[in-house]
Chains A and B, each alone.
Chain A
Amino acid sequence: MSKPLKCDICDNPATVHLTQIINNQIHKIDLCESCAEQKGITDPNGYSLADLLVKPGQVEETAEDNALVCDECGYTQRDFKKTGRLGCPSCYETFAGLINPALSGMHKGEDHKGKVPEKALERKSGLDRLHSLELDLQNAIDSERYEDAAQFRDEIIALKRDLEEEEREQVDAD
């Protein structure tokens, strides 16, 4: 009680003290009223935002570097800090440096151990392969490498047949 606590964000005297226990680890944040309000901490329902703040030191460091923008959707680091949400699936890669350290404090672990959408992943990798073969074929034709082109064409036909077969099997299974 000797020295008054300062706000972790702006150095004003801190009047809001948040203590959270996640996985038996204690996280403490001290904030002034206006920063607390800004972060949604005075709202008892807004604690998912507080989860993102569990390492305030880190937030301050990166606050100077506000240059991160998601190529895919244009979401900025500022948007992320304001809402605690992300813009699109690719944001998880763009902001990995910010999200990944926070994930361990928020969850039981850092790696997914649950269900994997096998069928969707298989289909996606098949379609990706088809797409790249089609590009190869077009390139081969453009540069008049007809032997290569014939090979790509055969591979495409074979892959398409496989993909269709899989789909038929699925329909039968349903």
Chain B
Amino acid sequence: MLIKSIFGGKSEMTEGSAKKCPVVLMTRVRLARNLDSVPFPGWAKKAQRNKVLETCLPAVASLSQMKRGITAELEELSDLEKQILVERHLISRELSSSSEKTGVVISRDQSVAVMINEEDHLRIQVIKSGYRFKQAWTAINGVDSSLEDELDYAFSSKIGFLTACPTNVGTGMRASAMMHLPALVISNQMEKVVRAVNQLGIAVRGLFGEGSDASGSIFQISNQTTLGESEQDIIKRLSSVLRTIIDQEMNAREKILEKDPNKLYDKIGRAYGILQNSHLLSSSECMNLASLVRFGVDLEMFPENTRNIVDRMFIECQPGHIQYHAGGNIESADRDAFRAAYLRKQFEGVEKPIFNIHENETKDQNSESKEGEKE
């Protein structure tokens, strides 16, 4: 029932915007909020957690943003359902593993999700495809303000919204961008970028948050500090770092094409070959292949509409999604076979990559700039 409505609706994550966005896959903002005078979920007794759930679940579900959305207590969900929600970034792994008196409300378009009794009483998140912090903030600010009408938040005029962990106090906001950085990974520059970015109070994580690996060259970049700056200032600071990373990635791409195009063409060509012909594919291999094809789309080696297939792969090739599509619990080896079959079908109609397009382009650009110099 739940799963059907999840797959029935359009998702911000899998459909993406029509606008071309080579580096930033999606933008996310989350707010941590707690009820006044109630222990935080990690310390609250079962009865208190239950009371929080009973107060918050209907308050969130009745928001206009949640009209015809999904409301569930985690206890009611199967493991597979929980796994699918995690893979779609709608709940955290923490919430899925601690299911005592926890709940989630998800909007119909899956762009708004509110977790109840995770680390904080409320974790509100808004996801937007592409690079759209402004819209994400406007949307989440609206949800938060409407909830404030119903619920008494724990707030201090000195240190802001009070959260279970002091690292979230203040705005309680974490803004993050999911970035696809294949050229920085291929040219071994990611470590350098991570170090530089960390010094600016910005964190870099893998696709599925803390502790996850960066398969598919996808990184989550987010603010680490939440107190002492307004939400807008945090987003501004984060955005300027993101723009620098985008520039670095673009430079790295140009350099690879200039220095060693065959190495790149070989990777992309092989990825295409494997996706069309393989019979066993693990999810991590699949992520890396998707990453290479997406890189190819950015370089116009594949038609633009291939981007949708690839962006969907990042989510739909995760183990939970594969099991759902296969119609139930299947073993890992069977999943790999099913995944390979699914992708052979997806790539059946995708035409061969065009390899020489850039050589001409760079030559054109060079001659143009030379002409410019003459003037």
Residues on A lying within 8 angstroms of B by beta carbon are 21-24, 44-45, 48, 51-52, 72-73, 75, 79, 83-90, 92, 99, 102-103, 106-117, 119-121, 123-124, 170
Which of under 10, 10 to 19, 20 to 34, or 35 or more describes the interface residues of B?
Answer: 35 or more
Given the contacts A75-B43, A86-B40, A112-B160, A107 and B165 also touching, CB distance less than 8 Å: no
Q: Does the CB pair B227–A73 fall under 8 Å?
A: no
Q: Is B167 an interface residue (CB 8 A)?
A: yes
> B36, B148, B166: which contacts A103 (Cβ < 8 A)?
B166
Q: 18 other contacts beyond A103-B169, A112-B161, with CB at 8 A cut-off?
A: A23-B201, A44-B211, A73-B39, A83-B42, A85-B165, A87-B40, A87-B43, A89-B34, A89-B156, A92-B162, A112-B158, A112-B160, A112-B228, A113-B170, A113-B229, A119-B145, A120-B149, A123-B152
Q: Does the CB pair B167–A112 fall under 8 Å?
A: no
The distance in angstroms between the C-alpha atoms of A51 and B144, with both chains bound, is 28
Q: Does the CB pair A21–B199 fall under 8 Å?
A: yes
Q: Closest residue to A110 on the B side, CB-wise?
A: B228
Given the contacts A73-B39, A85-B42, A85-B164, A116 and B228 also touching, CB distance less than 8 Å: no
Q: Does the CB pair B152–A112 fall under 8 Å?
A: no
The distance in angstroms between the C-alpha atoms of A119 and B231, with both chains bound, is 19
Given the contacts A22-B201, A108-B228, A88 and B43 also touching, CB distance less than 8 Å: yes
Q: Is B151 an interface residue (CB 8 A)?
A: yes
The distance in angstroms between the C-alpha atoms of A5 and B277, with both chains bound, is 57
Closest 7 CB pairs of A and B: A109-B228, A112-B160, A89-B154, A108-B228, A107-B227, A114-B171, A87-B43
The distance in angstroms between the C-alpha atoms of A83 and B201, with both chains bound, is 22
Q: Does the CB pair B229–A114 fall under 8 Å?
A: yes
User: Which residues of the other chain, B, contact A115 by a CB distance below 8 angstroms?
Assistant: 141, 144, 171, 230-231
User: Which residues of the other chain, B, contact A92 by a CB distance below 8 angstroms?
Assistant: 156, 159, 162, 169
Q: Closest residue to A22 on the B side, CB-wise?
A: B201
User: Which residues of the other chain, B, contact A124 by a CB distance below 8 angstroms?
Assistant: 36, 152
Q: Is B225 an interface residue (CB 8 A)?
A: yes
The distance in angstroms between the C-alpha atoms of A111 and B158, with both chains bound, is 6
Q: Does the CB pair A113–B148 fall under 8 Å?
A: no
Q: Closest residue to B37 on the A side, CB-wise?
A: A89
Q: Does the CB pair A109–B40 fall under 8 Å?
A: no
User: Which residues of the other chain, B, contact A21 by a CB distance below 8 angstroms?
Assistant: 198-199
Q: Does the CB pair B201–A114 fall under 8 Å?
A: no
Q: Does the CB pair A45–B211 fall under 8 Å?
A: yes
Given the contacts A22-B201, A114-B171, A108 and B225 also touching, CB distance less than 8 Å: yes
The distance in angstroms between the C-alpha atoms of A50 and B112, with both chains bound, is 32
> B34, B151, B155: which contacts A121 (Cβ < 8 A)?
B155
Q: Closest residue to B232 on the A side, CB-wise?
A: A114
User: Which residues of the other chain, B, contact A83 by a CB distance below 8 angstroms?
Assistant: 42
Q: Is B77 an interface residue (CB 8 A)?
A: no
Within 8 A of A (CB), among B93-147: 119, 141, 144-145
> B39, B119, B145, B171: which contacts A112 (Cβ < 8 A)?
B171
Q: Does the CB pair A113–B233 fall under 8 Å?
A: yes
How many whole Å from B124's CB to the nearest CB in chain A?
Answer: 12
Q: Closest residue to A90 on the B side, CB-wise?
A: B37
Q: Closest residue to B205 on the A side, CB-wise?
A: A45
Within 8 A of A (CB), among B195-247: 198-199, 201, 210-211, 225-231, 233
> B34, B149, B157, B167: which contacts A48 (Cβ < 8 A)?
B167
The distance in angstroms between the C-alpha atoms of A21 and B201, with both chains bound, is 9
User: Which residues of the other chain, A, contact B347 by a CB distance below 8 angstroms?
Assistant: none
